[in-house]
Structure 1
Amino acid sequence: MENILVVGANGTTGKKVVNLLKASQYFNPIAMVRKEDQLAQFKNEGIDTVLGDLEENLAHTVKNIDKVIFAAGSGGEKVVAVDQEGAKSLMDASKKANVKRFVMLSSMGADNPDAAEDLKAYLKAKHNADEYLKQSNLNYMIVRPGSLTNEKGNGKISLQRHFEEHGSITRDDVAQTLVHSLHEDAGSNETFEILEGDTLIGKALDSVS
């Protein structure tokens, strides 16, 4: 089984990713959290953990890690320090550790943040992180969902390189897409947007590979 570092494991989407990986026959999740009091919830479920702060040295977090899912976010408080520079720091550490794939949870609008009416600073930070990843020589997948909802997912999405219209998608289906993106047959070095749709996630990813 491959060891998957889940960055932002304590977040709403991150927890869903960890649970999907735990149920998988292919992957072993390692939940990266920032605070010691966040460790117990994962350890009680038999999930491996690592303490890591995106504003500090991250070399130890990628030891014996095969692939990374970056699902962290500052919640708008530290978009440059965490969403941009923290992500870049983890990419550098991943490259040195020979991580085989880096899956980035980005956002619709990150391709052109200057056009955004809302969240411009956040989208700019995500844009800069995405561009850094593209130039990193890491094997990557950049997933850009629309607005996230907490409704129950159905394992189906709509996927395009770029949507003209904005829309929404469940966190369940975003988490599933991130996990599917770990597989080699999902393609490599791709950037795409996802919304609610009618295509099974695995089949939708086949269209970009």
Structure 2
Amino acid sequence: MNNLVIWGAGSGLGAAMVDYFHEQGFTITAIGRDPTNNARINELNINAIKCDATDKQQLQQTVAKLPQGVVHISTMGSFNAEVPVDYIGHRHLIDALALHSASRLILITSLGCGDSWQYLSDAAKRGFGGAVREKSLAEAWLQSSTLDFTILRPGGLKDGALTHQGELSQHQEIHGQITRGEVARLTHQLLLNTESIGEIYQCVDASLSR
């Protein structure tokens, strides 16, 4: 349980996950299209692997090198990329993990995915609806896989550390923002809770809108 593979570790939420879980004493393998974008990986002497998840063969070769029995956390995402990783990259990852006899994958998507699409504003749908739809496809692919999955849909992401004010919820309409550090803390909470397997959660931090 103390070994983690973090996908999308080169920047953004993935970088925040690396910092958080390293502080918690986890042994981390950091994977990204270009892990050198995250200087902290080298500073912390964390094992890093370069992998473009949209390249199916490269992804399969990467997964084959990883130890079995570790927990995978994926924060992979792209906005307006020529080949978005949100769906096809996760499809490659999910399939490869299943073939590799991996079990647990925590997938971080966003509010608006799946059945929460109805709560997105028209402006949001126009602005980043394409990425949300890609992530929704990834969720569906994961839900129909053999993996023990948990899906977490955070609100608008902000730079920042833990606030201890973020909250997990299910089956209700929510809106708001949350820091990347706080998403990492809540991901850890889900990782420790076996009852989260097969479940979808959302999270925002109400204190950020006060």
Fold conserved between structures, TM > 0.5: yes
Matches within 5 A, 1:129-140: 129-140=138-149
Pick the aligned partner of 1:86 from 81, 85, 89: 89
More helix by share: 2
2:104 maps to 1:104: no
Deviation digits for residues 63-88 of structure 1 (CA, Å, limit 9, x no counterpart): 2151111011113324x641001011
After superposing on structure 2, the runs of 4+ consecutive aligned residues of structure 1 that deviate more than 3 Å are: 36-41, 112-116
Q: Is the 8 Å Cα contact of residues 15 and 38 (structure 2) preserved in structure 1?
A: no
Q: How many residues align?
A: 196
Q: From the superposition, tell whether residues 186 and 20 of structure 1 become closer, same or farther in structure 2 (CA, over 3 Å).
A: farther
Q: Cα 1:75–1:137, aligned 2, differ >3 Å: closer, same or farther?
A: same
What is the CA-CA distance between 1:195 and the residue it aligns to? 1.0
The corresponding residue for 1:203 is none
State the distance in 2 between where 1:24 and 1:151 align.
Answer: 17
Cα distance, 1:89 vs structure 2: 0.5
Whether the 8 Å contact between 1:11 and 1:72 is mirrored in structure 2 is no
**Percent identical across equivalent pairs?**
26
Unaligned runs of 5+ in 2: none
Q: Which runs of 5+ in 1 are unaligned?
A: 199-209
CA shift, 1:123, in A, is 1.0
Q: Residues 41 and 195 from structure 1, CA distance in 2 versus in 1: closer, same or farther, beyond 3 angstroms?
A: closer
Structure-1 separation of matches of 2:206 and 2:192: 21
| TM-align CA RMSD | 2.3
Give the 5 Å matches for 1:1-209: 2-25=2-25, 27-35=26-34, 37-38=36-37, 41-56=40-55, 57=57, 58-62=59-63, 63-65=66-68, 66-78=70-82, 81-112=84-115, 113=117, 116=120, 117=122, 118=124, 119-185=128-194, 187-197=196-206
TM-score (norm 1): 0.83
1:13-52 C-alpha deviation (Å, 9 max, x unpaired)? 1111112222224x31101021374476523421011111
